[in-house]
Structure 1
Amino acid sequence: MLTQQTLLLVDDDTSFLLMLKEYIEQEGYQTLLASSAHMALEQLQRLEPDLIILDYMMPTMNGLELLTLLRQQNTIPILMLTARDDDQDRIKGLEMGADDYLCKPFNSRELLARIKAILRRTERSTAFIRHIDLKILKIFPERTQVFWHEQELDLTHTEYKLLELLARQIGFIVSKQELSIYALRRPLVLYDRSIDVHVGHLRAKLGLAPDGAPYIRTIRGRGYQLLIG
C-alpha cells in the first residue's frame, strides 16, 4: 500500500478521466487511471489503491461486472459513478458491494466529501486488520484468507465478512442488523432473509460441532452467535 492515499479512476471517457484526475490530485491524492475494466485489472495487479472510483457504463465489461469480479477478490472501497439516475441501478450496485453511489453530473465538492467519508470509514476499520486465531479457526484480514482445521476455506465475500464479524465477537450474540450493515453494506429491511441465506451457506462449509450442533447458533429474535470449543 502506498503511504499517500491513492485512488484508481476507471472511466471510458478519457476527457472526463483527465478532468477528474486534475481535481482529485489538487486535493492531495495520488491517482491511477484506467479507461477500461481490463486496464483497471492490470493496474490492480501492480498496486492496491485506497479507493476505486468506478464508472457504471463502460463497453466490453461494464462497471457492475467489474465490481462483481473485484468483490470476489478483495475489499477495496468502491465509489460507483453513473449518468443514469435509476434507483434500481443504484440499489443493485450497493447490493453487489459498492460502498457509495454518485450520479453524473455531480458537484465536485460532493464527490470530495464522499471520497473523504469512505476513506474515514476505511481508516476506522484498520483495527480489524489484525488476524484472528481461535485455534481451529484462523482469519487473516490482510489477505482475506480463512483457515478452518488448518484447511483454507473457499468463501464468498459476504460469507467471509459474516464469519469475520462473528469471530471478532466470539461467544457474543451479533444482531442480523449489524451483520447486514457489515457484510452487505446496507441495513436490514422487513422480510429480508439475505443474512439467513448467507449464514446457511456458511454453516454448510463449517460443518457441525462435536455435539452435533452448528458452530453458528441462531438466537431467536436476536441474531447469531459463533461458538467454538
Structure 2
Amino acid sequence: LKAHERARYLYRIADGIEAARDRIAFIQSRDTGKTLTETRALAASAAGTFRYFGAALETLDDALTVPRGDYLTLSVHEPLGLVSAITPWNSPIASDAQKVAPALAAGNAVLLKPASWSPLVALELARIVEASGLPAGLFSVLPGAGREIGTLLVEHPAIGRVSFTGGTETGRMLARQAADKLMPVSLELGGKSPTIVLEDCDIDLAVAGVMFGVFSSTGQSCIAGSRL
C-alpha cells in the first residue's frame, strides 16, 4: 500500500474506535476492572494514536542527502514485513494502538498478541480494522498463553521484529531469544517512577498529582508513581 492509502485506513480505524468507544470501554472495564471513565479515555487515546500516525504519513518522504560529488545518496524507508506486538493487560486498547498504528503506518503487517488476561479488546479492534477495509492479512490477533506464544513469535523466521511491553524478566528472555536470530526487539519493561516535590510547590496540587500517579489504574501501570 502507498503512504496515502495507509493513511486512509488509519483514519478509518480511528473513526471506528471513536464510533465504538462505549462498547470498547465496557469490554475493557470487564476485562481489566478499570472504571468506565478511564476506559472511555483510553479508547479516545487509541483513536488519537491512529489519527496521529495517519497524519504523519501525509508528510513522510524519502530523504535526499545533499550531493558531495557526481553521485546521489538517497535514504529509502522500507517496511520490515511481518512484525509482532505483545501488549500488557492493564491498558489494552491504548497499548495496542501505540504498537499497531506506527507498524501499519510503516507498511508492515502486524500480528498482535494481547495479554491472556485481557484479550477481548484486541478482538474488538480486529473487528474495527476489518470494517475499515484494510486488506486481509495485514492485521491479525493471536490470543493465548503469553510465554509459549511469545517464544514462538520471537523464534518464527517470518517475524522481522517484536515489540513487547511487560515484565522485565520476560523482556530479558525475549531479548536473548531474539539475539539468536539477530532480530531487533523493542522492549518497554517495568521501572521505578519517582516524583520530585520541591519546597515551593503548590502542596495541594502536588498531593493530588502524587495520589493520581500512585493509585490511578489501581496502581497497575508501568508508569505508576513508586518513589516520592
Compute the TM-score of the two structures, normalised by the length of structure 2. Answer: 0.26
Compute the TM-score of the two structures, normalised by the length of structure 1. Answer: 0.26
